[in-house]
């Protein structure tokens, strides 16, 4: 009787433990704050892209894909944030 109860308990707890572990690996757990993120990307033509990058709360505009990549500059901070 005890062995049967332990088997049933293991059958209920083991899938729950596995699914919790899998979900934590996919972002369900605590998230680490990221300092760098690509906010938007716009294709200008077949080669060049305009990229808006966010770093430490500020936004930077980049032009990529030409003969050389170019930093167009830091955007002024928006009011109201």
Q: Which residue has the tokens 């990229």?
A: 51
* Interior angle at CA 62, CA 61 and CA 65, nearest 5: 155
pLDDT digits (tens, 9 = 90+) for 18-74: 776 666 665 555 667 889 999 999 999 999 999 999 998 899 999 999 889 999 999
pLDDT of 13 > 70? The answer is no
Q: Across-strand partners of 55?
A: 36, 58
pLDDT attached to residue 1: 74
pLDDT attached to residue 36: 94
- Residue 46 has, within 13 A of its CA and on its CB side, a CA count of 0
């Amino acid at each position: 009787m005890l062995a049967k109860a332990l088997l049933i308990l293991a059958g209920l707890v083991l899938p729950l433990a596995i699914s919790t572990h899998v979900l934590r690996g996919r972002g369900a757990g605590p998230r680490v704050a990221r300092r760098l993120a690509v906010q938007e990307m716009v294709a200008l033509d077949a080669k060049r892209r305009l990229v808006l990058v966010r770093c430490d709360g500020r936004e930077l505009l980049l032009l990529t894909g030409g003969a050389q990549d170019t930093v167009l500059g830091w955007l002024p901070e928006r009011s109201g944030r």
